[in-house]
A and B are shown apart, each in its own frame.
Chain A
Amino acid sequence: MKLIEKFISVLILLFGVTGLVHAQISLDITKKVESGGIPIAIAPFSGGAPENIAGIIAADLQRTGKFALQPPNAQASYSVTGQVNPGGSRGYIVQFQLNGAQGGTLLNLSFDIPANQLRPVGHRISDLIYEKLTGEKGLAGTRIAFVAGGGGVWYLVVADADGQNPQVILRSSQPIMSPAWSPDGSKLAYVSFEGRRPQIIVQDVYNSARRIVSAAPGINGAPAWAPNGQRLAFTLSKDGNPEIYALDLATQAPVRLTNNGAIDTEPAWLPDGSIIFTSDRGGSPQLYRIGAGGGAAQRLSFEGDYNARPAVSPDGRYLAMMHRRGGRFHIAVMDLQTRQFRVLTSGGTAESPSFAPNSQMIIYSDGQRLSAVSVDGTVQQDFALRGRARDPVWGPYGR
């Protein structure tokens, strides 16, 4: 019975690098968790279709790190069988069964879909299986957004959670930055430099309509949607230096929340409406928290000499950030309940963390490519995308 066959944990004690103040910070790099997952065998779907649905399901489940794919007819394994055939009222009928390890049918569903929904249905089946066997909602049907290109042409791209099916929703000859999903997944706020000045724009993902939310003199940056989708926090420097503002999207009246001569930027909302942001008011960039209406700021980050770009998990438990140590940038996560602090990456150029809607996975960029890591560091994913990809943001669960 092999449980965890190859679990490589590199413990780097950072004595000597930053002195003894924060001894015993460990850098856990889990290269691979080969087994110990839920055993499942996925047979090729019979029939004929332009998409390999069984392959999509297998890749989706493998990526979660919670399954161990088995050869067909493996003992003591869950099994998935299915078929896809032209027909139905819309083009294709997809049918699948999830069977228990001791026999018995756990799921048996069919879908009547057009051809362009074959891949989404594969992800849907993956999530149904995942939820049935783990009790948690799956991420296969979610989407990511990121900025591609640079150096002359920039793209805002929306792709499936596996990085496939990338769709350009904005092309610009000026920089695009800091996309942020609305909580309902229908809109993206972002910073665009078109006109050679930064503006915050909200774009409807599905009909391309755009609305300029802020174009004040100076910086217009770092948009962040409140959990209820009715307010947008961002950074403006119109009053002399960068400060955090919150805009009620219905009334269009931005309210200033910080008042400090230092840089205040990168707001991120907690579920209770309070805001975590980056400030160098203490001399180096660190994370602070203010209430929903502003007020006194409480410092949250103390590890390392540079902590920035906060990201709050949707359940409010975790705070991810860019963390510099020894001149190298990592993604780190703090448990806001226990204050436990963990460094999750090792590459040295990691930036722009964003939580998946399950609050367990964090997508980030190394400046060139996208990866994801679980908050406990045990699951790692790399995204195979063309060209450069930066500023990734994980969208919410589907409606």
Chain B
Amino acid sequence: MQNSIRILIAAASMALLASCASTGESTDPTPQDVPQPEITGQPGQEAYSYAYGQAPGSYDSYDTGSGTYSGYSSGGQSGQSGQSGQSGQLGQPMAGMGGSMVSADRIVYFDFDSADIRPESQTIIESNAGYLRGNPRIITQLEGHTDERGSREYNIALGERRANAVRQVMSAMGVSSQQIRVVSYGEERPAASGRDEQSHALNRRVEIVY
């Protein structure tokens, strides 16, 4: 019975993602012509719900996290999703970069409590904008992040503000709005796990994900 619930959830999620992926955009190009990062690749189930007291194994058997982050990739290297639209590489992944595996030329950093684009970020945005202009079928997801300080939900809003700032610069550079998606993870997916200013600076970022 639990399996059937899981299948239903997975099916509902797929339907949801399919419907979301096709909303808010015009009909040209048609949806099947456009790479859909969220639903291509292996859409394997990512979440399992359990009735209270029915989770397999005791809580003690779960890895509840030590606060360190081991190689999370928001670029989709987990194989769960987001891989198939990746037909062009702008740079090499840098695995050692504070746990993030998005290459440095796809990361835009920000000052504390700010969504202003720094002058030195223009080059990174321009090179990605040029790539998108030359590959109109490629969709990028701009993922906004913050450091750990402050309220979690307010940081979601701040991360979105940062991602929108990058989107606006890209649009001004001639990238079609249909090629850009925005999502904010706030402080939930830090690139560096420390609580020092160096880690905070690495975490205040927008990742340009293909």
Within 8 A of A (CB), among B57-71: 59-60, 62-70
A215 to B13 CA separation, bound complex (whole angstroms): 10
B49's partner among A169, A278, A280 (CB-CB below 8 A) is A169
Q: Does A103 contact B (CB under 8 A)?
A: no
Q: Does B128 contact A (CB under 8 A)?
A: no
A107: B residues at CB distance < 8 A = none
A174 to B158 CA separation, bound complex (whole angstroms): 19
B106: A residues at CB distance < 8 A = none
Stretch binding the partner chain, chosen from B26-34, B84-92, B130-138, B185-193: B185-193
A346 to B38 CA separation, bound complex (whole angstroms): 43
Q: Does A314 contact B (CB under 8 A)?
A: no
A322 to chain B, nearest CB (A): 5
B63: A residues at CB distance < 8 A = 149, 153, 387
CB-CB under 8 A for A166 and B59, given A175-B185, A308-B150: yes
B157's partner among A170, A219, A385, A390 (CB-CB below 8 A) is A219
A355 to B153 CA separation, bound complex (whole angstroms): 18
Q: Mark A272-303, 1 if CB is under 8 A from B, else 0.
A: 00000010100001000000000000000000
A199's partner among B16, B60, B156 (CB-CB below 8 A) is B16
- B150 contacts A152, C-beta separation under 8 Å: no
Q: Mark B140-159, 1 if CB is under 8 A from A, else 0.
A: 01000000111111101110
A280 to B150 CA separation, bound complex (whole angstroms): 13
A217 to B2 CA separation, bound complex (whole angstroms): 30
- A195 contacts B65, C-beta separation under 8 Å: no
A172: B residues at CB distance < 8 A = 46-48
- B69 contacts A152, C-beta separation under 8 Å: yes
Q: Does A391 contact B (CB under 8 A)?
A: yes
A265 to B184 CA separation, bound complex (whole angstroms): 14
Which B residue's beta carbon lies closest to that of A204? B51
B50: A residues at CB distance < 8 A = 167-171, 208
Q: Does B172 contact A (CB under 8 A)?
A: no
Q: Does A210 contact B (CB under 8 A)?
A: yes
A323 to B105 CA separation, bound complex (whole angstroms): 36
Interface size on A, residues (CB 8 A): 72
A209 to B64 CA separation, bound complex (whole angstroms): 23
A237 to chain B, nearest CB (A): 6
- B153 contacts A266, C-beta separation under 8 Å: yes
Give chain B's interface secondary structure class.
loop
B189's partner among A175, A242, A322 (CB-CB below 8 A) is A175
Q: Mark A360-372, 1 if CB is under 8 A from B, else 0.
A: 0000000110000
Q: Mark A166-208, 1 if CB is under 8 A from B, else 0.
A: 1111111111011000000000000011111111000111111
B184: A residues at CB distance < 8 A = 198, 219
Q: Does B20 contact A (CB under 8 A)?
A: yes
A218 to chain B, nearest CB (A): 7
Q: Does B201 contact A (CB under 8 A)?
A: no
- B38 contacts A263, C-beta separation under 8 Å: no
A200 to chain B, nearest CB (A): 12
Q: Does A82 contact B (CB under 8 A)?
A: no
- A206 contacts B49, C-beta separation under 8 Å: no
Q: Does A235 contact B (CB under 8 A)?
A: yes
A265 to B158 CA separation, bound complex (whole angstroms): 11
Q: Does A104 contact B (CB under 8 A)?
A: no
A150's partner among B154, B183, B188 (CB-CB below 8 A) is B188
- B48 contacts A235, C-beta separation under 8 Å: no
CB-CB under 8 A for A210 and B49, given A166-B59, A193-B185, A308-B151: yes
Q: Does B78 contact A (CB under 8 A)?
A: yes
A209 to B12 CA separation, bound complex (whole angstroms): 12
Q: Does A78 contact B (CB under 8 A)?
A: no
A265 to B159 CA separation, bound complex (whole angstroms): 13
- A306 contacts B150, C-beta separation under 8 Å: yes
CB-CB under 8 A for A178 and B152, given A194-B13, A237-B157, A386-B60: yes
Q: Mark B1-33, 1 if CB is under 8 A from A, else 0.
A: 010010001001100110010011000000000
B64's partner among A280, A285, A324, A388 (CB-CB below 8 A) is A388
- A388 contacts B66, C-beta separation under 8 Å: yes
A217 to B67 CA separation, bound complex (whole angstroms): 30
B188's partner among A177, A322, A324 (CB-CB below 8 A) is A177
- A195 contacts B17, C-beta separation under 8 Å: yes
Within 8 A of B (CB), among A234-275: 235, 237, 241-242, 263, 265-266
B62's partner among A155, A158, A237 (CB-CB below 8 A) is A155
A386 to B58 CA separation, bound complex (whole angstroms): 12
Q: List 14 A-B contacts (CB under 8 A).
A: A169-B49, A170-B49, A177-B156, A194-B13, A194-B46, A195-B38, A242-B157, A265-B156, A266-B153, A278-B154, A285-B150, A306-B150, A309-B153, A349-B149
Supply 15 further A-B pairs (C-beta < 8 A) apart from A149-B63, A208-B51, A218-B182: A152-B69, A152-B70, A157-B59, A172-B47, A175-B185, A177-B152, A194-B47, A195-B13, A217-B20, A237-B160, A242-B157, A265-B153, A308-B150, A324-B150, A386-B59
Q: List residues of B whose CB falls within 8 A of some A CB.
A: 2, 5, 9, 12-13, 16-17, 20, 23-24, 38, 46-55, 59-60, 62-70, 72, 78, 80-82, 141, 148-154, 156-158, 160-161, 182-186, 188-189, 193, 195
Those 6 A-B pairs whose CB atoms lie nearest each other, nearest first: A387-B64, A172-B47, A308-B151, A175-B188, A151-B69, A149-B65
